[in-house]
Structure 1
Amino acid sequence: MAYQSQDDQDALGALFQRYMHLVYGLCLKYLKSREESQDAVMSIFEQLSKKLKTQEVTYFKSWLYIVAKNHCLMVLRKKTSQKEFNGFVMENEAVLHPNDEYEIDNDLDALKDCLEGLKDKQKECVSLFYLKQKSYEEITNATSFTLNEVKSSIQNGKRNLKNCLEAKHVKR
Structure 2
Amino acid sequence: MKNLNDEELMILVSNGNLDMMSVLFDRYHIKIFNFLFKMTRDKEVSQDITQEVFYKAIKYRASYKKGKFSSWIYTIARNIFTDYYQRQKNKDERFDTIEYKIEQKEPDQMDIKETNEELKRALNQLSNVDRELVIMNRYQGIKYQEIAEITGSTAGAVKTKVHRAIHKLKDHYLQNI
Normalization by structure 1: what TM-score? 0.46
Q: Which has the higher helix share?
A: 1
Normalization by structure 2: what TM-score? 0.44
